[in-house]
Amino acid sequence: MDYVDLERLGLNKNEARVYYALLLKGEATAQELVKSLGVYRNIVYDNLEKLTEKGLVSFVNEGNKRKFIAQKPSAIIEFLESKQEELDKKISTAQKLTPEINKLLKSHKSKQEVSVFRGIAGLKKVLAEIVVAKKSWCIGITNNSVEILGETYWKNYNLKKKKTRTYEWLLWNSDFVNTVIGKNKRSKHRVLPRQLDQVTETIMFKDKVAIFVFSVEPIVIIIENKEVFETFRQHFEFLWKLSKIIEN
């Protein structure tokens, strides 16, 4: 174990370093910890105070010296339980606010027709909404999507889609090599003619159109508009009729 393991429990880097140094000693003065860590005095004092507030450290005064003591392992569990309680309260508050937030967003719907998400985290955020949609249609399944997000992500995505029992229709690019899509009776696939291969993946769901660009810096643009959605759906149906059926 080292201080990095303590960071994973929710301590910041300096808290973790100071706490780990104290664990090694059992008890120590702040000055002893400064010498041990080789950091500025205020870093040790500030983080000892934070660790004391978290219940991970206590102290005793011996004459004009204050000795800090690392608490028993159960203190770490109590610290994490307190964080969980705080998180549960925040989740509860968020759930209560959700109807009001949705109401406010709907009142500005005309201003929110187009959204842009950047980076892998942005792609995953949009895909997390698509995977639970009752129905979705995709034009242009590409190898780039697998290269950017990885086989493991897509295999888990498709397993989740199977569990949610949603329906999807997929148009693959002619050069797409499938290593991630398993058998699913609710998933229908066809392959586009080579001359109609797409440079983007376009997914339609819930009156929305999501246009994915799987570049080095990936981006997805979402258009939320029923008329645009219907137009893209008609485009999809046209391409579907021109495409080759894949048995799944």
pLDDT of residue 110 exceeding 60: no
Closest CA to 157 of 136, 137, 180, 140: 180
Domains 3-73 and 111-246 share a fold: no
Q: Give the model's pLDDT for residue 144.
A: 92
Q: What is the pLDDT of residue 247?
A: 65
Q: Is the pLDDT of residue 97 over 90?
A: no
Q: For the chain, what is the largest distance between any 2 Cα atoms, rounded to a whole number of angstroms? A: 88
Residue 64 dihedral angles phi and psi, to the nearest 5°: -100, 15
Residue 214 near residue 147 (C-beta atoms within 8 A): yes
Return the CATH number of the domain spanning residue range 3-73. Answer: 1.10.10.10
For residue range 130-141, list pLDDT tens digits in order: 999 999 999 999
Instruction: For residue 157, give both structure tokens.
Output: 């995505």
Domain boundaries, the chain: 3-73, 111-246
pLDDT digits (tens, 9 = 90+) for 169-185: 999 999 999 999 988 99
201 contact partners, CB below 8 Å, separation of at least 6: 138, 139, 140, 141, 142, 145, 211, 212, 214
Measured in residues, the chain has a length of 248
Residues 63-83 pLDDT 10s: 788 888 888 777 778 877 887
CA distance 164 to 158: 10
pLDDT of residue 108: 58
Query: How far is the C-alpha of 173 from the C-alpha of 97, rounded, in Å?
Result: 43
- For the record, the structure tokens of 65 come out as 């010296």
Give the model's pLDDT for residue 94: 81
* Pairwise pLDDT comparison (173 vs 55), residue with the higher score: 173
Residue 218 corresponds to which amino acid? P
pLDDT 10s digits, 198-244:
989 999 999 999 999 998 889 999 999 888 999 999 999 999 999 99
Distance CA 58, CA 45 (A): 13
Note whether 116 and 228 are within 8 A (CB). no
Q: Domain 111-246 is in which class?
A: alpha beta
pLDDT higher than threshold 60 for residue 248? no
**pLDDT score for 101:** 74
First-to-last alpha carbon distance for the chain, in angstroms, is 48
